[in-house]
Amino acid sequence: MGSRIHVYPNGSLVIEAVTEKDAGDYLCVARNKIGDDLILMKVSITMKPAKIDQKQHFKKLVPYGKDFIVDCKASGSPAPEISWSLPDGTVINNAMLADDSGHRSRRYVLFDNGTLYLNKVGVTEGGDYTCYAENTLGRDEMKIRITVIMAAPQIKHNYKTYVKVKAGGIALLDCEAVGEPKPKIFWLLPSSDMISSSTARHFLHANGSLSVSQVKLLDAGEYMCVARNPGGDDTKLYKLDVVAKPPIINGLYVNKTIMKVTAVRHSKKQIDCRAEGTPPPQIMWIMPDNIFLTAPYYGSRIVVHKNGTLEIRNIRPSDTAEFICVARNDGGESMLVVQLEVLEMLRRPIFKNPFNEKITAKPGKTTTLNCSVDGNPPPDISWMLPNGTWFSSGIKTSQFLTGSNGTLTIYNPDGGKAGKYRCAARNKVGYIEKLIILEVGQKPNILTHPTGPVKGISGESLSLHCLSDGSPKPNIAWTLPGGYVLDRPQINWKYILLENGTLVIREATIHDRGNYVCKAHNNAGDSSITVPVVIVAYPPRITNRPPQTIHTMPGAALQLHCVALGIPKPEITWELPDRSVLPTGHQSRAPGSELLHPLGTLVIQNPQPSDSGAYKCTAKNHLGSDFTVTYVHVI
């Protein structure tokens, strides 16, 4: 009888989805063989057109990404069917939703009561939504306008920022952004890779900041933070500089160092490989059989400690080989090549010259201090400078070089490098030291310079001065006018050379005139001066003489003056009438008691007639003589 009308076994008639056409008379007939019975029923249909309850037209502001629910409840008879018209023109109703097998991605749900649910509103969900309620008697509608609210991303402090970080450290790049909806943040790396979620070394924080751990040199460059939402993009640039220092092994600023070490058989040997750098270097030892051991490594006989020290236990002769330590980081790598020699017999260090030494160096001339030593194993030789700094073998600076044979070379020595140098030799058996005092020579400087020729008086001693200073103390040598050289302090019949360099000419004569050359010499050099010498000498000349004739009375003292000039100073003598000669200062005998004063004056204290006669005054030096005669009459 149709899908809407059903007759049940008990005689009831059911009509589903009643319409106005179902109004009228319905006759129920009950019949069997005996007869019939019937009843007439009159059905009237009450109809009401569809109407939306609480209908209103309004505008709704919905934040981007939020959910939105709008009700559309309608009444009517028959019950109205609810449908919605979306902004893009699509019309949906429950029948369409029921027909959707799930192949379409929906962001809305239409409930049976007509309520429309929008899930995570996006830009495309903005616009006019119309609800239709419709039955056979009519249709009603309600219009709603939805506006999706959003704001373009804005990054705080979006100016370009420079960040400097040490290699191996952590770089934190801030990138906080606001916007509606909340922006999604991703990063563009210098390698052009994009980071939108955390990785092994890149951690993306909830606020959008990026942490880069264990920074490497390759991480340097420009990082771009991008904040994006449907409203647009915003960016921020970071310039990351990575500071890295290549490894330095045992404090040596060289890429490769070769050192020789010894060990005694059956002993234990430790070889240091302390590496510094940024980031901290990884240390690895390459063994003679090309086996790579990375620190730390713990074996039964060989251990590589965490600090890089290689330890070999129970040394064997076969361990005589090269062991290579490699320290590597992002800044580069350094290498230490250790040439190990295994020895059998032990002998404590012994200096080949065990005595302390004193050495004088020429200023500016390279000087080598020798500290040769013997021992087994060969001792390690180190030097302590005057300022307390210790240098081991094989170190070269702009001023010093320590040789493997125990020498210390000093470049361009000056006064600042003078002092006490201590040489130390050490091996497994013992330790010894010796002292070497270094004096940096100072070229002699002669302090006395004559302003002109030096005048000497014939017959007298003449001193020629040649005072000097220098380091070490200069030796003085005089070259005489005839070419003879006096090169050490001495005394002879003619010359005296004093310790201070003064030359004394004894009893100078005119033969001693000429140029005397003084030379001061030491290891640092020499200096000389020329001293011209002039000897002054002339024969005697009597300048004050008595009268040729003198008359005097007996007993009246008489003085006869005789003054003479000459160089050397003349000797004055008087010849008396009896032919006797009085030298200067002579006391005469009676009767006249003559006295000759040092200046040449002859005094006759008690003249008698017997003293009358000729008195002759003679002035003499080695160049000649002069005389005068006075006749005395005692009456």
Encoded amino acid at 447, one letter: L
Alpha helices by DSSP H, 339-381: none
pLDDT of residue 1: 57
Measured CA to CA, the distance from residue 235 to residue 155 in angstroms comes to 7
Q: In what order do the strands lie in the sheet with 58-63?
A: 58-63, 138-149, 127-135, 81-85, 91-93
Measured CA to CA, the distance from residue 283 to residue 292 in angstroms comes to 10
Name 140's bridge partners.
133
- Of 115, 149, 183, the one marking the end of a domain is 149
Give the CB-side neighbour count of residue 156, counting CA atoms within 13 A. 9
The dihedral formed by the CA atoms of 292, 296, 297 and 302, expressed in degrees to the nearest 10: 90
Q: Quick one: 506 and 475 in the same domain?
A: yes
Q: Quick one: 64 and 143 in the same domain?
A: yes
pLDDT of residue 181: 79
CA 116 to chain centre: 74
Q: With contact defined as beta carbons under 8 Å apart, do 558 and 610 qualify? A: no
Q: Quick one: 56 and 90 in the same domain?
A: yes
- Of 295, 320, 343, the one marking the end of a domain is 343
Q: What is the DSSP letter of 256?
A: E
Q: Is the pTM of this model over 0.75?
A: no
Residue 80 preceded by cis peptide, ω within 30:
no
Q: Quick one: 292 and 321 in the same domain?
A: yes
Residue 99 confidence (pLDDT) above 50 = no
Tens digits of per-residue pLDDT, 208-262? 999 999 888 888 999 999 999 888 889 999 999 988 888 999 988 788 889 999 8
251-260, 582-591, 605-614, range with the lowest pLDDT: 582-591
Q: Quick one: 219 and 180 in the same domain?
A: yes
Tens digits of per-residue pLDDT, 545-563? 999 999 999 988 899 999 9
Q: With contact defined as beta carbons under 8 Å apart, do 622 and 615 qualify? A: no
Tokens of 6: 């059903």
Residue 103 confidence (pLDDT) above 50 = no
Of 412, 431, 413, 411, nearest in space to 422 by CA? 431
pLDDT of residue 389: 92
Q: Quick one: 298 and 310 in the same domain?
A: yes
Q: Quick one: 175 and 204 in the same domain?
A: yes
Q: Quick one: 423 and 514 in the same domain?
A: no
| 430-451: average pLDDT | 90
Q: What percent of the chain has pLDDT over 70?
A: 95
Give the CB-side neighbour count of residue 626, counting CA atoms within 13 A. 16
- The count of structural domains within the chain is 7
Q: Quick one: 522 and 544 in the same domain?
A: no
Three-class secondary structure of residue 456 per DSSP: strand
Tens digits of per-residue pLDDT, 487-536? 888 888 889 999 999 999 998 888 899 999 999 998 888 899 999 999 88
Domain at 258, CATH number: 2.60.40.10
Residue 588 confidence (pLDDT) above 80 = no
Report the greatest alpha carbon distance in the chain. Answer: 241
Residue 27 domain boundaries: 5-40
pLDDT of residue 186: 93
pLDDT of residue 585: 59
pLDDT of residue 104: 43
- Of 436, 468, 485, the one marking the end of a domain is 436
Predicted confidence band of residue 106 (pLDDT cuts 50, 70, 90): low
Q: Quick one: 223 and 253 in the same domain?
A: no
Name 245's bridge partners.
278
Q: Quick one: 145 and 156 in the same domain?
A: no
Measured CA distances, 266 to 312, 318, 323, 377, 378 (Å):
10, 12, 18, 13, 17
pLDDT of residue 240: 92
Predicted confidence band of residue 21 (pLDDT cuts 50, 70, 90): confident
DSSP string, 88-146: TS-EEEHHHHHH--S-S--SEEE-TTS-EEE-S--GGG-EEEEEEEEETTEEEEEEEEE
Tens digits of per-residue pLDDT, 108-157? 888 888 888 888 887 788 888 999 998 888 888 889 888 887 778 888 88
Residue 353 confidence (pLDDT) above 60 = yes
Measured CA distances, 194 to 185, 199, 210, 223, 225 (Å):
11, 11, 12, 10, 10
Measured CA to CA, the distance from residue 589 to residue 425 in angstroms comes to 90
Of 223, 217, 22, nearest in space to 136 by CA? 22
Alpha helices by DSSP H, 59-205: 94-99
Tens digits of per-residue pLDDT, 263-275? 888 889 999 999 9
Q: What percent of the chain has pLDDT over 90?
A: 38
Predicted confidence band of residue 623 (pLDDT cuts 50, 70, 90): confident
Tens digits of per-residue pLDDT, 54-98? 777 778 888 877 888 888 888 888 788 889 888 888 888 876 654
Q: Quick one: 366 and 418 in the same domain?
A: yes
Looking at every residue in the chain, the average pLDDT score rounds to: 87
